[in-house]
Structure 1
Amino acid sequence: MSDQTLQHPSPQRGSDAEPILEVNNLVVEYSSFGKKPVRAVDQVSFALRKGETLGLVGESGCGKSSTGKSLVQLPPPTAGEVLLNGRDVTKFSHSQLKASRREMQLIFQDPISSLNPRRTAQQIVAEPLRLMNDPHPMDSALRALSEVGVDEAMAKRRPHQLSGGQCQRISIARAIVQRPEVLICDEPVSALDVSVQAQVLNLLEKMKAEYDLSMVFISHDLAVVNNVSDRVAVMYLGRICELASSTALYARPKHHYTNLLLSSVPQPGIEREPQRVASEISAKASAGLGCPFAPRCPAATEVCLSDRPELVELEPDHLVACHHPLEAGAHVMPEPVAD
């Protein structure tokens, strides 16, 4: 198969698989120069099952990246639990947290700025091995780089001498060289050309299979998330509003925001009128009252403005936070235009 052809993930693991990562009531707040802290992530909970890829999707500013970085304590969350194999990472000491880095790794969004500009690719990948007291870190780094398609000559170059796609391969090698169990991918292809994205996604899928990885894949690109994920969590204003298998969520969305996102995806042979929705956030929503999406939702009623909906299971393994969820077949995905 060509590198330009996006491979689909392996069959979804059973819903009874043991969770390797559990996130409970995660809160991330940022200080705001003496004002009330800005809450980027608000009571987020989910579980990552062994061997699966969980997609985390939503528009810019919804808290996706803040969620991903807080899982590896960069920075630590304001509140909540991050259980890795049953142990709460947020309560680890410095030495325990350093040791846990081997189990959970993060691939950053910008592949160039996340690499040390003064070191070669081989030195960058060898650094975590040196900290792990690997007897031959440079040789092990060269093998890891070879696995991701970086040859020996390229391994001697510094990040500014490489393309974005090559730098992302180095970032992947740096992450998998420690043989982690969980890989957090923070928009790993958003900074890359479209022609390179499929190559990097295929590489991630290959590494996932070879190293039996479990992945949290963060992206705003709905098409990419659909192709790489077993399950998908949709975020809006710091909260998860829908969580389901990628098949169910894309075919039968139950939250009005999910439906709006899906209806905005360009598709060949489909014409649509632009959907105009309000963009303001009501005072009640900003104060934590009511549904955050209520000011933009076509189905909102008074209860949506006063009571915040909880994430509940409407169907097996399909969770929705909505007072008026969409019924089956009620979503507004347009039909292809006839020739």
Structure 2
Amino acid sequence: MVTHYKCPNCGSDMAFDAASGKLSCPNCGRQDDIETFPEENIQQKFAPEEAKEYHCENCGAVLLTEAETTATHCSFCGAPVILADRLTGDLAPAKVIPFTISKDEAVAAFKKWTKNGRLTPRGFMNGDRIKKMTGMYVPFWLYDIDGKAEVAAIGTRMRTYQQGDTVITETDFYDVYREIDLSYLKVPADASEKMDDELMDKLEPYDYSDLKDFRMPYLAGFLAEKYDFDEDALFSRIESKIVPYIDTYIGSTISGYSTVSYTNKQINANKKKVYYTLFPVWMVYYDFENKEHTFAMNGQTGKVVGKPPISGGKVAAWFMGIAVSTFAVLKTISYLVGGVLW
């Protein structure tokens, strides 16, 4: 189902505006609240489920999409369209964090970020080689987790003292037992096969106070995909995130011992609730030295992640500066203590 949000004033296609949080008309400037947008101005056309070919209701052009696409633009007239049948039933997100950073703000923030790289090439730092910047909603699963741990250990406390010429060490042994319940709320894992997991993890944290109940108008004007991996397929990734935190917490509860030897440690993370959620991401494609570099920006906070190129000359100069500084410090110390440094 192709969906267009038509402006009640002039009939143009409206898109979600990150700055105002409303549907905005690029032609006449009208803005409408998503919750109260008139239904008679929502145009929909049914297409078979999971079909890859749709027709734009605005100009009639054929829209060819991948099966995972849920929101896109008409390549002919540029109208934002939503493939609504791919967002219903089990494919319907429960929550969404809307974009709060506009494209112009994202470009400015990225250019500012490129200037911060101390070891990046000078030509990279001017930030004027952006090839493309795409706003898209990336599918995530948010997990509420009940963590449980049962631990048994032997702790020792040692005391050393001297009697005459004899050094005596006394060791006391203690049985240690801990039974711990911990809860973790809304632990994220991206569910898109195309997105780099490490890149998406580094975009965290998102501010969950901005979570909204999902409504399709939030997607208008942006790209969006449905999930490739269901909640069960990604749970092992969540366990790999949570278990180290539980393990660290266990260690923090066992203190005051000289040594601790675990005889039993069982850590379990259990799903309590799962939310299918869409997170806002600006994908930045940057040309430098005939190579495309990919970066991602959190569409809510503006945080930029990615690996910028490194300047060999700057790295060499940095190490040279460290060496010269170290030599100067050592020479000063040698002078003060009356020694000679060659």
Q: Which TM-score bucket, shorter chain as reference?
A: under 0.3
TM-score by length of 2: 0.21
Q: Which has the higher strand share?
A: 2
TM-score by length of 1: 0.21
Structure with the bigger RCO (C-alpha within 8 Å, sep 6+) is: 2
Q: Report which of the two has the higher share of helix.
A: 1
